[in-house]
Amino acid sequence: MMVALISQAHAQGKVVGIISVDWEGRVLDEKNLAAMKSFREDYPHIGLLHFLNAAYYTKPNADSFEVSQKIKQVLRNNDEHGLHVHAWRSLVEYANVTFRRSPNWSYPGPISLNSCHTTGDCGANVPISAYTTEELKDIISVSKQILINNGFNQPVSFRAGGWMAEPNVIAALSAEGFLFDSSATAPELLKGRRWSDRLYNWLNGLWTTITPVSQPYLIGPMSSPLWEIPDNGILADYITGPEMLAVLKQNIEKWRQDPQQTIYVSIGFHQETAAKYLHRIRDAVDLFEAYAEEQQVPFEWVQLPLSSSIF
């Protein structure tokens, strides 16, 4: 049935844009939420793929009602609720898993536990792949339940913190019934864009074959199909609107080679830095829509391939 749906969708032929939001689980500052509300008002036709993080609820002294209110004020009916997991200590221990202080993609040494007490939480830069498949199943299961208990839809899509989805992460996602992962990214777009190339080097080894024109592929076992939807246009913290347009142009050229196929372009931003970088998504949206119209390319925004009956 899944293959039949893919074939049917490809017969239509189009270019599809996905805009995702990584909710890091760090803070919910009003300036970032205000930037998101403004974007939603200006672009009501665009649904977003939210990778929501349960760690907002597990932090010390978190007020669940207040957390839910803040998040839901920027959600709309045409949005998708996915799951995003960073290895925050509060979330890991809430799942009854032993917290790991290393490795981490910011510094070569282990995290100081003093930072946990100083900031109220820590561990966001530890790749979740540092945990075993069984531990990840517990963390993911608890995260899903927290979100569902607080009024969000059951997530079927996922993105690992730092895009670090090693095979043990994929195995845990399959076991937990996820349909889509969007952790694969094009490392070339990240090179030199962070203060340290440590994360880039890890991603370059993990997602060696992923480029800005990579398309969805089956990554999980056939017994529990899990599709990888590459984040081939990366996030606004690292590239500008015109640079995202360059990615779109590459994908349009790929589409022109076979106009019967459906081509995906994924871009996005972080909730925690929306006030600083969301303007780049605004630029990209305007550029994408104008260029597609100019080139007479069939283009639409969706939240997930599922939303447009691709899979």
Residue type, 305: P
For 165, the 3-state DSSP assignment is: coil
For the chain, give every domain's residue range.
2-308
- Across the strands, what pairs with 266? 18
CA angle 214, 193, 303 (to 5 degrees): 40
pLDDT in 10s for each residue of the chain, 311 residues: 233 333 334 447 999 999 999 999 999 999 999 999 999 999 999 999 999 999 999 999 999 999 999 999 999 999 999 999 999 999 999 999 999 999 999 887 788 777 787 778 999 999 999 999 999 999 999 999 999 999 999 999 999 999 999 999 999 999 999 999 999 999 999 999 988 899 999 999 999 999 999 999 999 877 778 999 999 999 999 999 999 999 999 999 999 999 999 999 999 999 999 999 999 999 999 999 999 999 999 999 999 865 444 44
How many residues appear in the chain? 311
CATH of 2-308, one of 3.40.50.1820, 3.30.540.10, 1.10.940.10, 3.20.20.370: 3.20.20.370
Contacts of 294 (CB under 8 A, 6+ apart): none
The tokens 């447009």 sit on which residue?
A: 308
Cis bond leading into 44, ω under 30°?
no
